[in-house]
Amino acid sequence: ECYVQNTAREYAKIYAAEAEPLEGFGEVPEIIPIFLVHRPANNIPYATVEEELVGEFVKYSVRDGKEVNFLRRDSEAGQKCCTFQHWVYEKTSGSLLVTDLQGVGMKLTDVGIATLAKGYKGFKGNCSISFIEQFRALHQCNKYCEMLGLKSLRTTHQKQRKATAMKSKNLPNSSPVKKTVPKKAREPRDFISSEH
């Protein structure tokens, strides 16, 4: 948990360094640090500690991408979180995605990271690769994506789908072929009964 959140925090710092100087961009989401504490005298010797966030707690993105969240889409914090996800996705060539962004205002906590199956530069996330695929399919760019010069994922995803469709249309025999495999003759099984 600490490793994932603090890794996402490092990406957020780089994102902030690129976004904050842009005219009109404004405040940038911050992922708060989380610390692992060792308490040897306690029944549960390890615990995590982080800053307490006071205010309305909002999920700006969800792990599986299925939930429609108007606060994510319509609020400034939500749009900037989506742009952060897009920025990380583009910076890592689609290999890593910070997801499950949630918190109070621009302060975020308890985030997740999805990576491709092989990981990214030795790092493996804690979320399924399907989150990356869903993000690529569902993300809608906003003005902050445009300010950062991020490429639309919509056109990339549509081009990939069209290319796949064209390949299947161009195959000489694209109709489904039913394969028949001869069934082996069933041999009678010997049952051994045992009496105890």
All structural domains of the chain? 1-148 (3.20.200.10)
pLDDT recorded at residue 105: 93
Indicate which residues carry an active-site annotation. Answer: 100
pLDDT higher for 117 or 191? 117
* Mean pLDDT lowest among 137-141, 159-163, 171-175, 184-188: 184-188
Is the dihedral angle over the CA atoms 117, 31, 10, 93 positive or is it negative? positive
State pTM to two decimals: 0.74
The percent of residues above 90 in pLDDT, for the chain, comes to 55
pLDDT tens per residue across span 21-52: 999 999 999 999 999 999 999 999 999 999 99
Model pLDDT for residues 95-146, shown as the tens digit of each residue: 999 998 999 999 999 999 999 988 898 888 888 888 899 889 888 899 999 9
Residues 6+ apart with CB under 8 A from 150: 83, 86, 87, 90, 141
| Per-residue confidence (pLDDT) for residue 60, from 0 to 100 | 87
Residue 118's pLDDT is what?
Answer: 86
Q: Quick one: pLDDT at residue 153?
A: 86
pLDDT digits (tens, 9 = 90+) for 44-75: 999 999 999 999 999 887 655 454 455 566 78
Can you give the pLDDT at residue 73?
Answer: 65
